[in-house]
Chains A and B, each alone.
Chain A
């Protein structure tokens, strides 16, 4: 069911940036836009008036107006912005370390059969254990809380990056390698010109899944083991029964997650411009 959009104005109007933007807005402002506004608006209204209407379950939540009010208060506090800064730092560090370890190990495993055969069983023993279950071990092992949170974030992103790197590097059409070898390229050329570029798209895929898991892990670790960060603030608000504040934290975490996925996507289209991103 491919989207068969009318090819109106496919000439000059779509060439300029303004023309392209107009076209995008015009094609969005159709049925889908209307339906989206309709459904989100309905849910918002039901949520706002859940208590007067006596709706079950939703009336346990504070209405959106209260959430907006709470957010105004929270956005002015230092606690909130410190939470952002700390969570972002943990995500960035844990995620980057996962890339720095996962990508080289994955490439090594994909290119060197013996190391694949040796390392893969270890991966298969450890990987099925949910990363959340590592939280206690991590707290016991690492000397500081900060390091244990970082380790959990690292672990969340690591497996998926490793597996995607291996998958990408071992699914390269052998004809490319054969062609390069018969044209006289060395092993080094083969790596830099064939294997690495061909693996980049699946590394980016692994990264975009990995950043999602990394956010899950940072929230879990902060809720359970942390004393700071957005996840801790979320749990703390719940414990003191400030539910509106809790919802503000949820939305903030959602925004943070969305922005970081977008950054990965942009990075992907920067390092692998030939690959069309979904």
Chain B
């Protein structure tokens, strides 16, 4: 009987969702919202086209135009060697994505563990927090010389700097997450006879999760940011390196391609982290909906 009720209500929810989706789409199309958004996009590209390509207003004439940049991007035989059809383009993308991925994963694993440990043990907190507070105000980009000095090779300094940017953010957000957990949960778990290990996995980790994922999203942005800077300074491949090289050799159309690619990748990677977070925190959405 109970199962039947559940099944029925699930079906109802599914139907409800379907109906509401079509209704929602129709309602949205009737509102001004999608048209205004389209207008915004059109205004942006039109002003780029008009200011740069057509009228060549003031300093805008120095900038790469919209039409030549797009032509270069989709050209099978690009003038400057980088377009959707060349291997070099994907080579640079892969070099950057690989660096961001390895740095981000490392920073996530280490940052979350250190952050939880800091929130968990007072002694560890006392030992590490002062160091963190001393190092944190120094901008990541000011570490570039030291990273080049300390880490061997050309690849490791770039990954190291990208890692560092994400690492601090992840630690601090994890720590904040652990500190934000209501003391009552700890007391309840202890009085119900949880071991310290069980508290760690059933109270601390899920309790800190929302903050951790906020931190991871910021960390992803910080990763791309410091990746581009360190590639400009010391890279031999990658999108940041290419931005600077195209500037140097006055290949401005390719610069637009690389910048757009950077924007796209940055957007996609943040969306990925957000999606993962939503999936891992479904329980929370359910609780919030129930409450």
From A141, A246, A257, B146 is in contact (CB under 8 Å) with A246
A119 CB within 8 Å of chain B: yes
A58 CA to B37 CA in the complex, in Å? 53
State whether B140 touches A216 (Cβ < 8 A).
Answer: yes
17 pairs of residues in contact across A and B, judged by CB atoms under 8 Å:
A1-B119, A32-B126, A32-B129, A35-B130, A61-B146, A61-B149, A121-B38, A121-B41, A128-B263, A129-B259, A130-B221, A130-B228, A130-B229, A140-B63, A143-B59, A250-B138, A253-B139
State whether B243 touches A140 (Cβ < 8 A).
Answer: no
A145 CA to B129 CA in the complex, in Å? 39
From B41, B62, B128, B139, A257 is in contact (CB under 8 Å) with B139
Chain A residues within an 8 Å CB radius of B186: 1
Main secondary structure of the interface of B (DSSP, over half): helix
State whether A141 touches B126 (Cβ < 8 A).
Answer: no
From B149, B181, B255, A60 is in contact (CB under 8 Å) with B149
A238 CB within 8 Å of chain B: yes
A2 CB within 8 Å of chain B: yes
A163 CA to B43 CA in the complex, in Å? 21
State whether A117 touches B33 (Cβ < 8 A).
Answer: yes
Contact with A along B19-63 (1 / 0, CB 8 A): 000000000000011001111110110000000000000011011
Chain B: minimal CB distance from A260 (Å): 9
State whether A253 touches B138 (Cβ < 8 A).
Answer: yes
Stretch at the interface among A5-13, A14-22, A192-200, A219-227: A219-227
Contact with B along A131-148 (1 / 0, CB 8 A): 111111101111100000
Chain B residues within an 8 Å CB radius of A243: 145, 149
From B60, B232, B246, B262, A135 is in contact (CB under 8 Å) with B232
Quick one: given A133-B228, A133-B243, A136-B255, are A212 and B139 in contact (CB under 8 Å)? yes
Chain A residues within an 8 Å CB radius of B264: 128
Please name the residue on chain A nearest to B255 by beta carbon: A136
State whether B43 touches A122 (Cβ < 8 A).
Answer: yes
State whether B40 touches A120 (Cβ < 8 A).
Answer: yes
Quick one: given A142-B59, A212-B139, A250-B143, are A57 and B150 in contact (CB under 8 Å)? yes
State whether A253 touches B142 (Cβ < 8 A).
Answer: yes
A263 CA to B237 CA in the complex, in Å? 40
Contact with A along B134-169 (1 / 0, CB 8 A): 110111111111101111000000000000000000
Find residues 92-139 in chain A having any chain B CB closer than 8 Å to their own CB.
114, 117-122, 124-137, 139
A81 CA to B66 CA in the complex, in Å? 43
State whether B127 touches A39 (Cβ < 8 A).
Answer: yes
A40 CA to B233 CA in the complex, in Å? 31
A249 CA to B178 CA in the complex, in Å? 35
Please name the residue on chain B nearest to A43 by beta carbon: B131
State whether B259 touches A119 (Cβ < 8 A).
Answer: no
Chain A: minimal CB distance from B139 (Å): 4
Instruction: Give the 8 A-B CB pairs with smallest separation, nearest first.
Output: A35-B126, A136-B247, A117-B36, A36-B130, A238-B145, A254-B138, A128-B266, A129-B263
From A2, A139, A212, B183 is in contact (CB under 8 Å) with A2
Chain B residues within an 8 Å CB radius of A261: 137
Interchain Cβ contacts within 8 Å, total number? 185
A215 CB within 8 Å of chain B: yes
Chain B residues within an 8 Å CB radius of A124: 267
Find residues 205-251 in chain A having any chain B CB closer than 8 Å to their own CB.
212, 215-216, 219-220, 223-224, 231, 234-235, 237-238, 243, 246-247, 249-251
Please name the residue on chain B nearest to A123 by beta carbon: B40
Quick one: given A125-B41, A129-B259, are A234 and B142 in contact (CB under 8 Å)? yes
State whether B137 touches A118 (Cβ < 8 A).
Answer: no
A277 CA to B264 CA in the complex, in Å? 35
Chain A residues within an 8 Å CB radius of B224: 130
State whether B263 touches A39 (Cβ < 8 A).
Answer: no
A267 CB within 8 Å of chain B: no
A131 CA to B131 CA in the complex, in Å? 28
State whether A131 touches B225 (Cβ < 8 A).
Answer: yes
From B131, B148, B151, B181, A40 is in contact (CB under 8 Å) with B131
Chain B residues within an 8 Å CB radius of A127: 263
State whether B123 touches A35 (Cβ < 8 A).
Answer: yes
A125 CA to B41 CA in the complex, in Å? 8
Find residues 146-187 in chain A having any chain B CB closer than 8 Å to their own CB.
none
State whether B127 touches A38 (Cβ < 8 A).
Answer: yes
State whether B181 touches A118 (Cβ < 8 A).
Answer: no
Chain B residues within an 8 Å CB radius of A114: 32, 36
Quick one: given A1-B183, A224-B233, A250-B146, are A139 and B141 in contact (CB under 8 Å)? no
State whether A121 touches B44 (Cβ < 8 A).
Answer: yes
A122 CA to B40 CA in the complex, in Å? 6
Chain A residues within an 8 Å CB radius of B59: 141-143
A135 CA to B259 CA in the complex, in Å? 11
State whether B126 touches A132 (Cβ < 8 A).
Answer: no
Chain A: minimal CB distance from B73 (Å): 15
8 extra interface residue pairs, beta carbon distance < 8 Å, beyond A136-B244, A136-B247, A137-B63: A32-B122, A32-B126, A118-B39, A124-B267, A128-B263, A130-B224, A130-B225, A136-B255
A1 CA to B130 CA in the complex, in Å? 19
A271 CB within 8 Å of chain B: no
State whether B252 touches A140 (Cβ < 8 A).
Answer: yes
Chain A: minimal CB distance from B95 (Å): 15
